[in-house]
């Protein structure tokens, strides 16, 4: 029997449509079969489709790329909080999501959505030359958390890199991030996710759970602003608080729609 699902498309980490990272947000009454969730994500063909199920005053949240479910996605969390703030008659001050990485709360402050996220522990890698040979450019340092973090001493290398996604997929880590110190912001980055069926992720929130803590230590400051230098671009605000961090950004609604699936 066909089921109608409300879906919203939100551009996250930006205040302009066609910028930032687009995420689809689907509002469900209860979970559908995982195969259907994956098919919806594949049909949307965005880097992320988020699925929300209410649980009392809080919400269950899952994230699907066109290829697989993942444990944490920053821009889809931001987009989900944005949607709930705009459709609920009396949205809570803190929207609480239950995810694979635990409880995530999101607070709206002026035009920013502030997300309480984990900080990924980074282990410095010794095989920098080998990684550089695969990438075709030589990082200054490489770290591994959930993702691979490649640090460069020139932001132009990050901006101008022509990614070979097949080669990046050979490396450790779920995603691969390039980062460097920025002349305009605290840091600049780009994010690649060929293992998840995504060439370049336009603005990667969970990637900045690696990137911003790294630069906080290097720059000796807890509050930072990062710039994602993809074609769409995006701005991320971070505050490091030990093993947790506040990751903030703006969002804008691009589309509302209804989708129809047989269940």
Catalytic residues: 48
Task: Provide the terminal-to-terminal Cα distance of the chain, rounded to the nearest Å.
Answer: 6
Q: Say which residues have a Cβ less than 8 Å from residue 202's Cβ, sequence separation at least 6.
A: 20, 21, 22, 47, 228, 230, 231, 232, 233, 234
Report how far residue 208's alpha carbon sits from residue 13's, in angstroms, rounded to the nearest whole number.
12
- What are the b/e assignments for 235-256, b being 16+ CB within 10 Å? bbbbbbeeeebbbbbbbbebee
Q: How many CA atoms lie within 13 A of 98 on its CB side?
A: 8
- What are the b/e assignments for 43-63, b being 16+ CB within 10 Å? ebebbbbbbbbeeeeebebbb
Place of tokens 């821009």: 75
Q: Are 195 and 148 within 8 A, CB to CB? A: no
Q: Are 179 and 188 within 8 A, CB to CB? A: yes
Cα–Cα separations (whole angstroms), residue 260 to 6, 40, 179, 236: 9, 10, 40, 34
């Amino acid at each position: 029997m066909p089921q109608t699902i409300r879906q919203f498309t939100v551009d996250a980490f930006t205040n302009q449509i066609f910028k930032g990272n687009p995420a689809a947000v689907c509002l469900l009454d209860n979970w559908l079969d995982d195969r259907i969730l994956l098919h919806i994500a594949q049909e949307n063909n965005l880097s992320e489709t988020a699925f929300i199920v209410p649980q009392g005053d809080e919400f269950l949240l899952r994230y699907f790329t066109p290829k697989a479910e993942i444990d944490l996605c920053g821009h889809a969390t931001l987009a989900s909080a944005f949607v709930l703030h705009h459709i609920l008659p009396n949205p809570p001050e803190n929207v609480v999501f239950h995810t694979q990485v635990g409880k995530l709360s999101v607070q709206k402050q002026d035009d920013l959505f502030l997300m309480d996220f984990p900080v990924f522990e980074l282990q410095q890698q010794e095989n920098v030359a080998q990684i550089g040979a695969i990438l075709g450019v030589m990082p200054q340092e490489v770290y591994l958390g959930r993702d691979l973090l490649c640090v460069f001493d020139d932001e132009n290398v990050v901006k101008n890199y022509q990614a070979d996604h097949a080669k990046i997929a050979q490396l450790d880590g779920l995603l691969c991030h390039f980062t460097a110190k920025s002349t305009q912001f605290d840091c600049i980055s780009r994010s690649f996710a060929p293992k998840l069926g995504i060439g370049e992720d336009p603005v990667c929130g969970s990637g900045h759970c690696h990137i911003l803590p790294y630069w906080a230590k290097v720059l000796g400051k807890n509050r930072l602003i990062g710039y994602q230098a993809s074609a769409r671009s995006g701005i991320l605000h971070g505050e490091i608080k030990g093993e947790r961090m506040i990751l903030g950004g703006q969002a804008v609604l691009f589309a509302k729609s209804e989708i129809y699936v047989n269940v």
